[in-house]
Structure 1
Amino acid sequence: MQTIVLPERCDRAAAEALLPEFAAALGGGPLMIDASPVRQCGQAMLQLLVSARRTGAGARITPSPALIDVALLTGLDHELFDEEHGA
């Protein structure tokens, strides 16, 4: 299982920089996304994460408290996280 670690600031620039890595990883089986460092997350990264969850074998996200807060605020918690994260 391949792992992608997200940066603290997940803005549009970060999403654009990580897009090729996501695209390459999603074709090769399950993907683990370590979002535990995330302190700030914007719309572009949320879109990338939703797409990763819906593509191929999908992706599992280990969220930070900040990412959980943003997901709850936007109503994407059920879209982004498995039940065990309590979001």
Structure 2
Amino acid sequence: MTSITLPERCDRAAAEALLPEMLAALGSGPLEIDARECRQIGQAMLQLLVSARQTGDGAVILPSDALSEAAALTGLADELFSGVLA
């Protein structure tokens, strides 16, 4: 499983920087996205994470409290984490 670690600040620039790495991981099995250090998350990164979950073999996202809160506020918690967290 390919693993990608998100930075503390997950804004549009971070999403643009991570996109090539995520695209390169397509077809190599599920992607693990470690977002446990994420403290600030923007809309662009949320969109990229939703896309990662829906593309190829999908993604497992290990969220921080900030990401969990942002997902809940935007109604994306099920989309990002269903079937992942025990």
After TM superposition, the score normalised by the length of structure 1 is: 0.93
Deviation string, structure 1 residues 11-57 (Cα, Å, up to 9, x no partner): 00000000000000122111100000000000000000000000011
1:79 paired residue number: 79
Question: Taking structure 1 as reference, are residues 54 and 84 closer, same or farther at Cα in structure 2, changes over 3 Å only?
Answer: closer
2:42 paired residue number: 42
Residue 85 of structure 1: how far off its partner (Å) = 3.2
**Runs of at least 5 residues in structure 1 that lack an aligned partner in the other structure:** none
2:24 paired residue number: 24
Output the CA distance in 1 between the equivalents of 2:22 and 2:53.
11
CA contact (8 A) 1:26 1:57 kept: yes
CA contact (8 A) 1:60 1:82 kept: no
Q: Kindly tell me the number of residue pairs found equivalent between the two proteins.
A: 86
2:57 paired residue number: 57
RMSD (CA atoms): 1.2
Aligned residues with identical type, % of pairs: 69
Output the CA distance in 2 between the equivalents of 1:64 and 1:15.
17
**Runs of at least 5 residues in structure 2 that lack an aligned partner in the other structure:** none
After TM superposition, the score normalised by the length of structure 2 is: 0.94
